[in-house]
Amino acid sequence: MNNESFKNEPATTQHHIILYILWELTRSFIRHLREIDGIIEDLQIQITSATHNEYFYKLIALHKSLVYFETSINKNHPLITESIHEAVLGDDVQSQELLRDITDISNQAEVMVTESSKMIDQLSEVFSSVITNNLNNIMKVLTSITIVLTIPTIMAGFWGMNVDLPFENHPWAFGITSLITIFICFLTVYWLKKKDYF
């Protein structure tokens, strides 16, 4: 039996009106759940470089939507069961076939909600790990920069002491000291890069 033709026929009884509403609701659930799946897939791609809270807020919003879907689907089950019972008692073959389709779609929607919820939970864990990892990388870089910038300060401190120092009477003392400082800075940067701090 073609359920699309049934759907397009005018609803003649209260039972048919309920079936029509259930049919449209379950199909609407599937449509929206597929949209949510698409958003989850996009987030999976974008989340690897996440450092902002916007992705976290998106995950919260998606999880909230899925809770609403799950609640609605669970509330529809008793109505579907009651409609199946009425269709069997009424020996309405067309309604029985449509109800089987509605039940299948409703079960599919329930499975999709469960799978999407699991995906969001996993994404939340991945998101936390990515954020932590990215922050650790940023801290490593900032620490490395601090180390490199400390070298000129140390060198200037040595040459500011009231003790005899190499090159202190040389006309190019400042230039030589600056070159030594730059050389030590480059060596430090090279060493830090080898240690994967940059």
pTM of the model: 0.59
Listed residues 132, 154, 176: the one ending a domain: 132
The enclosing domain of 147 has a CATH number of 1.20.58
pLDDT reported for residue 48:
65
Tokens of 129: 């790990």
Are 46 and 110 in a shared domain? yes
For 26-50, what is the mean pLDDT? Answer: 82
Are 102 and 144 in a shared domain? no
Are 126 and 162 in a shared domain? no
Please say whether the beta carbons of 99 and 87 come within 8 A. Answer: yes
Angstrom distance (rounded) from CA 84 to CA 79: 9
Q: State which H helix or E strand residue 34 sits in.
A: helix 14-46
- Which tens digit of pLDDT belongs to each residue from 42-52? 887 777 666 66
Are 123 and 67 in a shared domain? yes
- pLDDT-derived band at 2 (thresholds 50, 70, 90) equals very low
For 13-24, what is the mean pLDDT? Answer: 77
Are 117 and 145 in a shared domain? no
- Which tens digit of pLDDT belongs to each residue from 151-162? 888 887 877 776
Domain count of the fold of the chain: 2
Could you tell me the residue range of the domain that residue 172 belongs to? 139-194
Are 125 and 144 in a shared domain? no
Are 157 and 127 in a shared domain? no
Listed residues 88, 106, 132: the one ending a domain: 132
- pLDDT-derived band at 79 (thresholds 50, 70, 90) equals confident
- Which tens digit of pLDDT belongs to each residue from 146-189? 988 898 888 878 777 766 767 667 778 778 888 888 999 999 88
Angstrom distance (rounded) from CA 103 to CA 89: 18
Tokens of 126: 């991945």
Are 121 and 39 in a shared domain? yes
Are 180 and 84 in a shared domain? no
- pLDDT-derived band at 103 (thresholds 50, 70, 90) equals confident
Are 68 and 166 in a shared domain? no
Tokens 């039940």, located at residue: 103
Q: Is the pLDDT of residue 5 over 70?
A: no
The enclosing domain of 38 has a CATH number of 1.20.58.340
pLDDT reported for residue 91:
58
Q: Is the pLDDT of residue 70 over 60?
A: yes
Are 37 and 104 in a shared domain? yes
Angle between helices 14-46 and 54-90 in degrees, nearest 10: 150
SS3 state of residue 87: helix
Are 16 and 39 in a shared domain? yes
Q: Is the pLDDT of residue 31 over 70?
A: yes
